[in-house]
């Protein structure tokens, strides 16, 4: 689905020209049909919520032990490798359910559990957020169209810990403004990571993201934040992506959390679909996201969700200019 021309009738049915109505917003994404839930082999270790859908409390320490960090490095590397593999399959005509099937297969083949599966009842192994979908889009039989952008959010559970990463991919021939959105979003993540230093307040992350997004005329989603991660998928530690001057929690060596800015072409407000998962921009304009799991070190920040070798790294959208 390419971008409508400026003088075309707007897709919303208002009777106005596209340029005077929903310019900057494409025809809305609509939910498709879901395939049956995919099974995980019995021999693969499962997180506590795998059967019940109910995760435990969120009181895990944000500062990790060396043992947890060793395991997290391996799980985070696997998550990055799975993201590369699924990202390579993005093309016009592929369904988001087919991408989910690939993510599931790659994850279980590595002896890991796809963390999203049955987390609070989520029905799939991957989140696929297309165009105006901010996050938590559920894979279905909708086919990606030429000109779409799609975020793939991969989290894996292995050795008792989670690794979480995502990236936005462009489908076929994408318009210039969507390309600029994706590029600036990737830059927002890089600048946020560069801002992380022990002894500084956690709000330096949101300040770096907000400043860069504002400079380029984009919005920063506020309803969804980065989070602590480790033996639990989400802990109580939160990382807002917009600047909050009063947020003065000090960053310490050994802290592990995600940074995952969601940047919008228009306003930052969102609304939820009736499925209880799919969040979309209120104004229907596009949004992009990139995410890494990071570790605060003695002198800065280490990215944990790094692909396992140079060839995979070159294929990861974060690692390319």
Q: Which of 306, 163, 307, 137 is nearest to 232 (CA)?
A: 163
15 located within any domain: no
* DSSP-assigned states of every residue in 128-183: EEETTEEE-PPP-SPBP-TT-EEEEEEEEEETTEEEEEEEEEE-SS--HHHHHHHH
83 located within any domain: yes
pLDDT digits (tens, 9 = 90+) for 8-48: 776 555 676 766 665 555 689 999 999 999 999 999 999 99
Could you tell me the residue range of the domain that residue 281 belongs to? 61-312
Rounded CA-CA distance 263/214 in Å is: 10
CA angle 31, 35, 152 (to 5 degrees): 65
90 located within any domain: yes
The answer on pLDDT for 108 being more than 80 is yes
118 located within any domain: yes
Q: What percent of the chain has pLDDT over 90?
A: 86
266 located within any domain: yes
Contact 191, 209 (CB under 8 A): yes
pTM exceeding 0.95: no
pLDDT digits (tens, 9 = 90+) for 52-75: 999 988 789 999 999 999 999 999
CA separation, residue 81 to residues 166, 169, 300, 314 (Å): 11, 15, 24, 11
17 located within any domain: no
Domain with residue 200: its CATH number is 3.90.230.10
pLDDT digits (tens, 9 = 90+) for 187-219: 999 999 999 999 999 999 999 999 999 999 999
Cα 15 versus chain centre, distance: 35
pLDDT digits (tens, 9 = 90+) for 168-178: 999 999 999 99
As for how many domains the chain has, the answer is: 1
Q: Note the helical H segments in the chain.
A: 66-87, 96-109, 176-195, 203-215, 310-315
65 located within any domain: yes
Mean of per-residue pLDDT scores for the chain: 93
Contact 205, 226 (CB under 8 A): yes
Structure tokens belonging to residue 59:
């009181």
């Amino acid at each position: 689905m390419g971008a409508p021309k400026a003088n075309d009738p707007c897709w919303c049915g208002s009777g106005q020209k596209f340029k005077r109505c929903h310019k900057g917003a494409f025809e809305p994404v609509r939910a498709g049909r879901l395939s049956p839930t995919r099974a995980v082999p019995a021999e693969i270790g499962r997180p506590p919520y795998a059967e019940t859908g109910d995760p435990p409390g969120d009181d895990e320490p944000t500062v990790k032990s060396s043992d947890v960090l060793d395991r997290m490095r391996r799980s985070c590397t696997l998550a990055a490798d799975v993201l590369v593999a699924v990202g390579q399959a993005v093309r016009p005509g592929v369904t988001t359910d087919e991408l989910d099937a690939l993510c599931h297969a790659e994850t279980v083949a590595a002896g890991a559990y796809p963390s999203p599966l049955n987390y609070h009842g989520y029905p799939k192994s991957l989140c696929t957020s297309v165009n105006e979908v901010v996050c938590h889009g559920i894979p279905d039989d909708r086919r990606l169209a030429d000109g779409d952008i799609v975020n793939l959010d991969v989290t894996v559970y292995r050795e008792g810990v989670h690794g979480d990463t995502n990236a936005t991919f462009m489908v076929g021939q994408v318009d210039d403004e969507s390309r600029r959105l994706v590029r600036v979003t990737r830059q927002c993540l890089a600048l946020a990571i560069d801002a992380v230093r022990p002894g500084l307040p956690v709000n330096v992350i949101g300040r770096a993201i907000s400043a860069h997004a504002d400079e380029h005329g984009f919005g920063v989603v506020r309803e969804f934040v980065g989070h602590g991660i480790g033996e639990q998928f989400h802990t109580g530690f939160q990382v807002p992506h917009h600047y909050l001057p009063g947020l003065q929690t000090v960053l310490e060596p050994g802290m592990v959390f995600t940074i995952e800015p969601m940047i919008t072409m228009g306003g930052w407000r969102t609304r939820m679909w009736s499925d209880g998962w799919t969040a979309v921009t209120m104004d229907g304009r596009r949004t992009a996201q990139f995410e890494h799991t990071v570790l605060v070190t003695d002198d800065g920040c280490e990215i944990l969700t790094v692909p396992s070798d140079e060839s995979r790294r070159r294929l990861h959208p974060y690692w390319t200019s």
